[in-house]
Amino acid sequence: MRAELSSYWGRLVTMAAPGDWLYLNAHYLVADIELDPDVARRFVPKPLKLATPALASVFTGWFPTNTFGSNYHEAGVFLHVEHWGRRALYSPWMLVDDDVALIFGRELLGYPKKLGKIDFRIEGDRISSVAERRGSELLRMEGELRERLLDPPPMLGRPHRNVRSSLGLALPKVIAFTPREEAIEVRRAELKVDIGRSERDPLAQMGFGAVRAAYLHRVNLAAGGLPLPCGLVSPFSFMKHWLLRSH
């Protein structure tokens, strides 16, 4: 029994990797896209506010090496928001093709992850990715990689505000955290981005406009600290977004 407990706690410590990298060589193909603020703010729960100018970072990702042993892909939307006067990222929608990554992301960090199918390909300077769920294509990103950036913007290493809750008596909470990011290589990209919709995943109704900039980030990622509650979300506001998060 003692050996089993030692093995159990050892696995937890290995996955948590305190002070070390959780992800190595994580790939993010991201497009910063203008938003119609009157439309997009309907997808932001109070007390968060859509930032000005209204922007979204739409991404697909590939994560070949991490502490929990999954080689998986993601797709998602980060809305640029403000909370207590500070800019942050909030995700109203995310897909993943691995159950462990889904559980960790939802339970620990409040990411609204759902299972989907994501294809991510790099062939020389050509890059493409497609995200689907339940037979509907929801996101397609295709284009060419350009020059390497010497002073790139961060991808995930920015303040985050997510909502974590259940359908029980507990009030939904805003949680705050800032991942630690180390850039390996960042290249500018020229991308064509097509955003689709389905009854369960109405992405095209978020008010997306023109692509402002696009990049391929290759980064190492670590926890920047514990995710901490920093506010309450009204149950009514939470329920307005529950189907997009869970259905």
20-246: in CATH 2.40.400.10 = yes
Q: How confident is the model at residue 18 (pLDDT cuts 50, 70, 90)?
A: low
Rounded Cα gap, residues 103 and 18, in angstroms? 19
Q: For residues 25-32, give the mean pLDDT.
A: 98
- Global pTM reads 0.94
Rounded Cα gap, residues 159 and 176, in angstroms? 7
The confidence score (pLDDT) of residue 76 equals 98
Residues composing the chain: 247
Rounded Cα gap, residues 214 and 188, in angstroms? 6
Q: Does the pLDDT at position 236 exceed 70?
A: yes
From the centroid of its chain, how far is CA 127? 19
Share of the chain above pLDDT 90, in %: 83
Phi, psi of 44 (to 5 degrees): -110, 115
The count of C-alpha atoms lying within 13 angstroms of the C-alpha of 63, restricted to the half-sphere facing its C-beta, is: 22
Buried b / exposed e along 33-62 (16+ C-beta atoms within 10 A):
bbbeeeebbebbbebbebbeebbbbbbbbb
CB 162 within 8 Å of CB 90 = yes
Q: Does the pLDDT at position 145 exceed 80?
A: yes
Average pLDDT, whole number, for the chain? Answer: 93
Q: Does the pLDDT at position 242 exceed 60?
A: yes
Q: Does the pLDDT at position 146 exceed 80?
A: yes
157-188 pLDDT, tens digit per residue, is: 999 999 998 666 678 999 999 999 999 999 99
The confidence score (pLDDT) of residue 44 equals 96
Spans of all domains in the chain: 20-246
Q: What is the dihedral of CA 179, 102, 115, 176, to 10 degrees?
A: -40
Residue of 193, 216, 192, 30 lying closest to 122 (CA atoms): 216
Q: For residues 140-157, give the mean pLDDT.
A: 97
Cα–Cα distances in Å, from 83 out to 124, 139, 159?
A: 40, 28, 10
Interacting residues of 31 by C-beta distance below 8 A, sequence separation 6+ = 57, 58, 59, 141, 189, 191, 193, 211, 213, 214
* Residue found by looking up tokens 């889904």 in the block: 102
